[in-house]
Structure 1
Amino acid sequence: MKKIKVLVTDDSIFMRKLISDLLKDHPDIEVIATARNGAEAIEKVKALSPDVVTLDVEMPVMDGLEALKRIMARSPVPVIMLSSTTSTGSLNTILAIENGAVDFVAKPSGAISLDIFKVKEELIEKILLAASSNFHSLLGRNTQQKNIPLNGTLYSTMDLVAEKTKWNRSVICIGTSTGGPRALQTLLTSLPNKLKTPVFIVQHMPRQFTKSLAERLNSLCSFPVTEAVHGERVINGTAYIAPGGYHMEVEEKRGELYISLNEDIPVKGHRPAVDNLFASLSTLKKTRKIAVVLTGMGADGAIGIKKLKESGHTVAIAESEQTSIVYGMPNAAVQTGLVDHIENLEDIAVVIQQYTL
């Protein structure tokens, strides 16, 4: 089997050696070179044609974000960002994913993480995933498409009116993982300016990064996007992102919806978990649920889709293989046999709007 050629980029000689040492013993990975900064990484990408690049976010001469932009413009290759968990580091990581990075790994203890071995398995897993991902579906995609053309079969107005009499409210719930921040940007910025329903989002991401994601999406969307807070009352036209490290569930009290966060055990390694959110929404009465599963590794969301469908009044939408960076989660949802629409990412907002009239 051909080995995955990796270029490791970090301004610290210690980090370059530590990361290279973590990867060198894996039978499917070969570290072909290292780079001291973004400018050097650009030149080595052009000269060596690696299969995957790791980029430190914060570097002198040229930082990882600027290097990423230039790599994507000149010699596109799957990139994994290595980031500190500071506010600046997490925001730049979100911007990096927006600009084409496949995924990121958070350094355990700042810029020079001598305990980087703690994320060895995660780093290896994401490099392997990046090498096999549908990376080229990112290239040339406009992440802020508006007024996208309708694709697919519409319900008739009569059908919609007849169906609407069966519930008192609609909610939109979205689950995603690898490639999710960019997919969420495409989807949320394509929804109506005056959104009439709440949106609940689970993105597999650590603490601090979900806050930066919410702040970034809030700056781009025409409706509020916020990191969810335990006990807050749900407001129509607002999108709520589950905080990293907490499961997010939705409860109904006296006819109103409220956010509930907990630190129960991870589900399939995830906290927040899409299954938990979907399962909680399945208990809501007289509520139309529009469940969307976007790009991501694994099968989170499939069990939740089943529970939602058992509760009735649920429309399930999965992102297509053509536009998913990783087709794991959408495919798992499709394999349940309960998905109503399989759509390219750019068409999902229009499908959602069919059910929220």
Structure 2
Amino acid sequence: MKPYKVLVVDDSAFMRKIISDLIEKNADFQVTATAVNGREAVDKVKELQPDLVTMDVEMPEMNGLEALKLIMLDHPLPVIMLSGINEEGMKETILALEGGAFDFIRKPSVSSSHDINSVGESLREQMKEAMLARERREARSASELSSAESTPALQPPESASSMPPAKPADKQDGGGGGHTSGKETQDVKAPILRPLSQGTGISAERKREDKPQLPRTERTRSVSTGEKPEVGRIKSLSPKKSDVPVREPIPPRTPAQGAGPDIPTVSGKDRKLGAKGLTKLVAVGCSTGGPRALKALLENIPADFPAPIVIVQHMPPNFTKSLAQRLNTFSPLDVMEAEQGMILRKGAAYIAPGGYHMKVTETAGGQYAVALSKDEARNGHRPSVDTLFESLLPLKALERHAVIMTGMGSDGAKMMKSLYDAGITSTFAESEETCVVYGMPRSAVELRCVTYILPLQDIAPRLVQVVK
């Protein structure tokens, strides 16, 4: 097999050399060209049609973000951004991930050979995953095309506005696109993804081998409580942030036992009052492709959502703060980087800070709070989704919901399985058709612990329906 062609883009000749050498330590990749700025990169992508691009974020004449937009418009391909750790570089990186970049790495310190080698390992892993993801998408597209050519054309689905009201038994359909008959509803033990042309996803029924099977209508009630929202109703439930009442701050808490002096601890003026008697909680985990997925999720959750959302996104220190600030501009929720001792409240989302594990703990006063630690990395990550999910196991008084979206590896799947077996209310996994990398969700699906397997655009509406 011929090596994959890579274009390296950086305004520093020294950095171009370092990155090229790191790439070519893997014989499957060959640096076929370099570029000194975004404008030259756009021209060389058009001329050489590489398989992959590494792109510096900050460059003269045309920066990486501007070049990325043009490349994705005319010649979409995997782009890995190289970011500095300055504030502007981090903001630009978050925008690049929203704009279609596959992932990013921070630039290595040229004075540290260990740091250079560490960055090289991460870069080569991302490149391999990018190529695998592309090949899986191409194979799936070819399969769907072949299936479409050999199958009679399907009648277009009824529009949502012309559909009759759903019967109670119909509430097990997968998302927001149409009916699911009893035969089409798939058991979670053998999940089957439908082609895009046949619907928007699957809601897998939960089946317990150690309990007698309930009639279908009763199973529906056990998973999704309340009436199904009318079409177009969800966004109308979202008041503007300015309409959300301001909550009085409460005195600062003492950091949790074992928390080091460098654990970020919220001050009284920054803390917002949590709700006593909190009954619901949503936990989300994601990695590669996560910033874009989180945007799609959080901008469609209404401000009156009756549960806090705690989130682990695999990302280095400092970048998570830029991510939270960016997501806060889109979401009706209050989105923030979590800090030690923060009291969780409805209508807010908390992102674990890079470099810290995040857990949810119950306070003596009956509230639920953030606990941060610098414990050893888990599954190669800190923060880890498994660590967050595991902290929910003892919180049996809460109605708990867990979500795994796009990402490399299997972080979160093991503890989602433990939560599922312990009787968690619902579990969600993003389906392959919309994942940037179908790693973490696939691991959960293979463990047969997923209630709903849905494309990204259907996760928020279904989550709102189930939680409300």
Structure 1 match to 2:415: 304
Give the AA of the match of 2:63.
Answer: D
Deviation at 1:34, TM superposition (A): 0.2
* Residue 265 (1) aligns with residue 371 (2): no
Deviation at 1:160, TM superposition (A): 6.3
Residue among 300, 307, 324 paired with 1:197: 307
Structure 2 match to 1:55: 55
* Residue 76 (1) aligns with residue 73 (2): no
Contact 1:150 1:350 survives alignment (8 Å): no
Alignment partners' CA distance in 2, 1:337 and 1:136:
22
Distance 1:121 1:230, change over 3 A: same
Alignment partners' CA distance in 1, 2:428 and 2:224:
21
* Residue 44 (1) aligns with residue 154 (2): no
Give secondary structure in 1 for the equivalent of 2:432. coil
Alignment partners' CA distance in 2, 1:39 and 1:53:
14
Deviation at 1:151, TM superposition (A): 5.5
Give the AA of the match of 2:437.
Answer: V
Distance 1:354 1:313, change over 3 A: same
Distance 1:184 1:134, change over 3 A: farther
Give the AA of the match of 1:332.
Answer: S
Contact 1:78 1:135 survives alignment (8 Å): no
Show the 5 A alignment for 1:1-357.
Answer: 1-109=1-109, 116-134=116-134, 149=176, 159=221, 169-253=279-363, 254-357=365-468
Alignment partners' CA distance in 1, 2:221 and 2:92:
45
**Root-mean-square deviation (Å):** 2.4
Give the AA of the match of 1:26.
Answer: N
Distance 1:162 1:81, change over 3 A: closer
Which range is displaced more, 112-121 or 339-348? 112-121
Distance 1:159 1:314, change over 3 A: closer
Contact 2:335 2:348 survives alignment (8 Å): yes
Distance 1:152 1:281, change over 3 A: farther
Which structure 1 residue ranges, 5 or more long, are not aligned?
Answer: 138-147
Give the AA of the match of 2:51.
Answer: D
Deviation at 1:180, TM superposition (A): 0.4
Which structure 2 residue ranges, 5 or more long, are not aligned?
Answer: 138-174, 181-202, 204-215, 227-276
Deviation at 1:35, TM superposition (A): 0.3
Give secondary structure in 2 for the equivalent of 1:95. helix
Deviation at 1:134, TM superposition (A): 4.5
Report the TM-score, using the length of structure 2 for normalisation.
Answer: 0.70
- Size of the aligned set, in residue pairs, is 344
Give the AA of the match of 1:8.
Answer: V
Higher strand share: 1
Give secondary structure in 2 for the equivalent of 1:322. helix
Identity percentage of aligned residues: 49
Give the AA of the match of 2:7.
Answer: L
Kindly report structure 1 stretches of 4+ aligned residues shifted beyond 3 Å.
112-118, 134-137, 148-158, 160-164
Alignment partners' CA distance in 1, 2:420 and 2:283:
13
Deviation at 1:283, TM superposition (A): 1.1
Q: C-alpha offsets along residues 260-281 of structure 1, whole Å, 9 cap, x if unaligned?
A: 0000000010000000100101
